[in-house]
Amino acid sequence: MTQNWAVAAFVLVTVALLLFMVGAASVLGGRAWGHSKNTPFESGIVSTGSARIRFDAKFYLVAMLFVIFDVEALYLYGWSVSLREVGWPGLIGAALFIFILLAGLVYDVRMGVLEWAPAWRQHRRKRRVATRD
């Protein structure tokens, strides 16, 4: 129980410091309100319309794919730093890891996840390529 007193004291001091800073800002801060306070500063753009924009689901899908393959790079970086310590078993594990993610990428490409062009444009492009051959 005696070890928890240090943590409790730290939390109390932190909360007291936060309350002091918020209170001091509200007492000492400016209270000017008006139209010019709500406009963008210097070269900002005056907003028009609603900020709620509907995005296509492909944006979120590509974002998730980016996170997956970015984490892959993170794991491979850690593997490359410890390459001498992990030896052949580490190489086989990393190769298996890369193979699984590559299979996922091939699946995503075959399912058309990364296709951004409309279907009519893709059809026209395929037809144009077929007429060249």
Q: For residue 14, what are the domain limits?
A: 4-132
Q: What is the CATH number of the domain that holds 71?
A: 1.20.58.1610
Alpha carbon separation from 115 to 9, 67, 81, 110, 111 (Å, rounded)? 56, 18, 35, 10, 9
Burial class (CB in 10 A: 0-12, 13-18, 19+), 4: exposed
- Tens-level pLDDT at each residue, the chain (133 residues): 667 888 999 999 999 999 999 999 988 887 777 777 767 776 677 767 777 778 777 888 888 888 888 888 888 888 888 888 988 998 899 899 899 989 988 998 888 888 876 666 666 666 665 666 5
Pick from 113, 80, 110: which is nearest to 95 by CA? 80
Quote the number of domains for the chain. 1
Q: Which two tokens stand for residue 44?
A: 């900002």
Query: Is 0.75 surpassed by the pTM of this model?
Result: no
- Degrees to nearest 5, angle at CA 60 with 54 and 65: 165
